[in-house]
């Protein structure tokens, strides 16, 4: 049997964190030397987006950890510890964190990514109205912009399709205007509804 079949059997085709039954896929609990059933878990899209900081942290969703933190699967224990650390300002999460025991090896694994000092906030690209922007979205300029090093003037109301978020800067996106790729500040764009 392959890894995915074993994990699906173990998880009963459910997210091993919140027990959701849709969008369940393998998640590698990093860092790891090789993939095993202990360091891979099945999680849903909602859990994955929040773990990977691609969505706002919803503390109500993570109440599921009150149950899943007791799993015997090392990967589930490590992810539960990491998420409880990010939510430690919530009283229920702090209480669960106090109860959760990880041996020295698993605790070192849990701390290996250095995320334990995070305050749970997620840096997302947001437009002028606070809407989350993602690669592939279409935006509208809310201000006319002069493009540095070019004679191009991007007029207010210009539609920019298929933007790309700049990974290392949440205040910038890239888009093509008149055939030229430019960097645009997120505070000057409004996400166009589908």
Same domain, 64 and 159: no
In tens digits, what is the pLDDT along the chain, a chain of 194 residues? 599 999 999 999 999 999 999 999 999 999 998 999 999 999 999 999 999 888 889 999 999 999 999 999 999 999 999 999 999 999 999 999 999 999 999 999 999 988 666 655 667 888 999 888 889 999 999 999 888 878 888 899 999 999 999 888 889 999 999 888 899 999 999 999 86
- The answer to whether residue 154 is domain-embedded is yes
Same domain, 78 and 13: yes
Same domain, 43 and 84: yes
CATH of the domain at 182: 2.30.30.40
Same domain, 111 and 42: yes
- The answer to whether residue 128 is domain-embedded is no
In the chain, alpha helices (H): 3-11, 45-51, 65-68, 74-86, 91-99, 104-111
Which of 18, 37, 40, 42 lies closest to 29 in space, CA to CA? 40
What's the domain count of the chain? 2
Domain enclosing residue 170, as ranges: 139-191
d(Cα 36, Cα 147) in Å, to the nearest integer? 50
């Amino acid at each position: 049997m392959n890894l995915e079949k074993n994990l699906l059997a173990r998880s009963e085709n459910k997210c091993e964190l919140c027990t959701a039954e849709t969008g369940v896929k393998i998640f590698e609990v990093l860092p790891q030397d090789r993939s095993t059933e202990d360091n891979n878990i099945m999680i849903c899209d909602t859990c994955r987006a929040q773990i990977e900081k691609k969505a706002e942290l919803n503390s109500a969703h993570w109440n599921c950890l009150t149950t899943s933190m007791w799993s015997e699967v090392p990967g589930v224990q490590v992810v539960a510890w990491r998420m409880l650390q990010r939510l430690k300002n919530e009283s229920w999460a702090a209480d669960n964190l106090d109860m959760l025991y990880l041996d020295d090896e698993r605790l070192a694994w849990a701390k290996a990514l250095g995320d334990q000092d995070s305050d749970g906030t997620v840096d997302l690209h947001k437009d002028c109205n606070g809407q989350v922007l993602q690669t592939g979205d279409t935006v509208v300029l809310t201000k006319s912009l002069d493009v540095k090093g070019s004679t191009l003037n991007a007029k207010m109301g210009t539609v920019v399709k298929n933007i790309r978020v700049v990974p290392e800067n949440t205040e910038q996106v890239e888009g093509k205007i008149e055939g030229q790729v430019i960097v645009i500040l997120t505070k000057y764009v409004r996400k166009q509804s589908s």
